[in-house]
Structure 1
Amino acid sequence: MKKILLILPVFILVACQTKVGSSRTAATVVEKKFEKKACVEDDCAEVSLQWVELLGDSYAASVNSSIVEKITRYLVYEDTVLSMQEAAQFFLDGFTEAKEEFPDSPGGWYVSVNAATSLDSLGIFSVKFEEESYTGGAHGSYSTTFLNFSKKDGSVLANEQIIQNKPKLLALAEAAFREKRDIHPDSSLLKAGYWVDQGFFLPAAMGLSPQGLILYYNSYEIAPYSEGPTELVLTFDELGDILALPQ
């Protein structure tokens, strides 16, 4: 049966530019969008990417490069440096090749990534990445992660670099987790079905917002997929001197 392949690229620079506050300088943030689509007969693969780009600041180039690199990792799993457009084409090519190899496989693929400013203050520029994708199987993939940048030089701050009292943070996080999941302080999290056989732990995804510190446990990190993700927000008042912010 004859197959028809369509490639429909769209690259948009959103006209809206906003000044976001900073403890050092005001940065101009531009919202950008890239979309591309490929179809084989009635089934299509779609790429939809939205992200922020900084202009006119000394650390902008470093931040922008890290944001683009992280987004391309959702499209290309190999350790290869590609542009946004190249990574999108890699994903679409994977779809068309899969259709050629397995022509009877139903449905299409998609990946959607939104990278938005979470905080621009306290010496940190924090970006929240929300990803959703499907490439076949029982269900799609959903994740939320963060990149936290120092506004001194645009370097990526590891979680350990913004925490100066981990034991205290662990205690606060566990209490908040139990409250969120309605688990009594004296009940066993392990018996409740959570994966804490090595003890309670902090999530990989940690970011800052105007409300405080966001701790985001993605699906499969601390519980089965059926439990879904868990987002905790600890206010700056609750945190006290737990954080080590590069103001």
Structure 2
Amino acid sequence: MSIEFSEAHIETSKDADIAINYPKAEGNKDVSERINTTIENYIVSQINFSEDSLTNITIKNAVERFNTEYTTFKSDFPDSPQKWEAFIDGEVTYRSPEVICMAINSYLDTGGAHGNTNVRFFNFNPQTGELYSKNELINNVSDISKIIERKLQEKAKSKSDEPIEDFFFGKDFQLPETIGYSDEGLIILYNPYEIASYSQGIIEFIIPYSEISSYLNIY
């Protein structure tokens, strides 16, 4: 039985402003449960302010905890105009017989100079619902890293508004934390602070499969 997706939606503005949309897997019970558990645990972790790692609570419970944290904050600082926000949006960016790629975009603002944005890709095996490791996706990390680094330098030079002079804060090149798939090619995305200052925002580009297919085990 193939895996299909519906959209799950949670929204409230009673206390904090919260809106969560994400694809919910349906079909093969074991496979869909693995996919949903991975995604839901990640969303819970994004809005979890406790020091404990929460893996056995629902997104609804996590939203309630987030609201409780906010009301406590308002009680402690009644003059603060800050209203907390949590916006999470997910989408399936690519599907093939070998991989289902999902992107989760999170934006949280709980005070400070600005909110925090983070995008993460999840690459699932459609047959098992398990996540692929980077080494399972890529057969030659060294060579594909050279291509990505070159494309990254080209991207930096093309930013006419604020060219990037120093990547990785003086450290050696690193692959993104996660890599995504789209119909157009491999998605290379670095989040704010991952390789450059916050002002640079998200740095993203796509490398066509025709240029890198020989380095990929799966696409």
TM-score (norm 2): 0.90
Q: Is it true that 1:59 corresponds to 2:35 in the alignment?
A: no
Q: Is it true that 1:236 corresponds to 2:212 in the alignment?
A: no
Give runs of aligned pairs for residues 93-104 of structure 1, distance below 5 A: 93-104=68-79
Over residues 93-134 of structure 1, what are the superposed CA-to-partner deviations in whole Å (9 max), with x where a residue is unaligned? 100000111111222011000111011114111110111110
The alpha-carbon deviation at position 47 of structure 1 amounts to 1.1
Q: Is it true that 1:92 corresponds to 2:64 in the alignment?
A: no
SS in structure 2 of the partner of residue 71 of structure 1: helix
What does residue 109 of structure 1 align with? Answer: 84
SS in structure 2 of the partner of residue 202 of structure 1: coil
CA separation in 2, counterparts of 1:152 and 1:27? 9
Deviates more, 1:90-99 or 1:25-34: 25-34
Structure 1 unpaired stretches of 5+: 1-24, 40-44, 184-188
CA separation in 1, counterparts of 2:205 and 2:194? 14
Query: For 1:211, which of 175, 184, 189 is the aligned residue?
Result: 184
Q: Is the 8 A contact 2:41 2:54 kept in 1?
A: no
The alpha-carbon deviation at position 56 of structure 1 amounts to 1.3
Over residues 33-60 of structure 1, what are the superposed CA-to-partner deviations in whole Å (9 max), with x where a residue is unaligned? 1112233xxxxx1110001111112511
Give runs of aligned pairs for residues 30-69 of structure 1, distance below 5 A: 30-39=6-15, 45-57=16-28, 58-69=30-41
What does residue 129 of structure 1 align with? Answer: 104
Higher-helix-fraction structure: 2
Higher-strand-fraction structure: 1
SS in structure 2 of the partner of residue 205 of structure 1: coil
SS in structure 2 of the partner of residue 152 of structure 1: coil
Q: Is it true that 1:70 corresponds to 2:46 in the alignment?
A: no
The alpha-carbon deviation at position 207 of structure 1 amounts to 1.1
What does residue 153 of structure 2 align with? Answer: 178
The alpha-carbon deviation at position 198 of structure 1 amounts to 3.2
What does residue 154 of structure 1 align with? Answer: 129
Query: For 2:53, which of 79, 90, 115 is the aligned residue?
Result: 79
Deviates more, 1:82-91 or 1:119-128: 119-128
The alpha-carbon deviation at position 26 of structure 1 amounts to 3.9
Deviates more, 1:218-227 or 1:52-61: 52-61
One-letter code aligned to 1:198: K
Deviates more, 1:196-205 or 1:234-243: 196-205
Change (3 A) 1:170 1:225: same
Over residues 152-198 of structure 1, what are the superposed CA-to-partner deviations in whole Å (9 max), with x where a residue is unaligned? 21111122221111111111101111111117xxxxx8xx2222533
Change (3 A) 1:240 1:154: same
Query: For 2:195, which of 210, 222, 225 is the aligned residue?
Result: 222
Structure with max Cα Rg: 1
Q: Is it true that 1:195 corresponds to 2:193 in the alignment?
A: no
One-letter code aligned to 1:121: S
Deviates more, 1:232-241 or 1:214-223: 232-241
Over residues 197-224 of structure 1, what are the superposed CA-to-partner deviations in whole Å (9 max), with x where a residue is unaligned? 3321111021111112111100001001
**What is the identity percentage for the equivalent residue pairs of Structure 1 and Structure 2?**
25
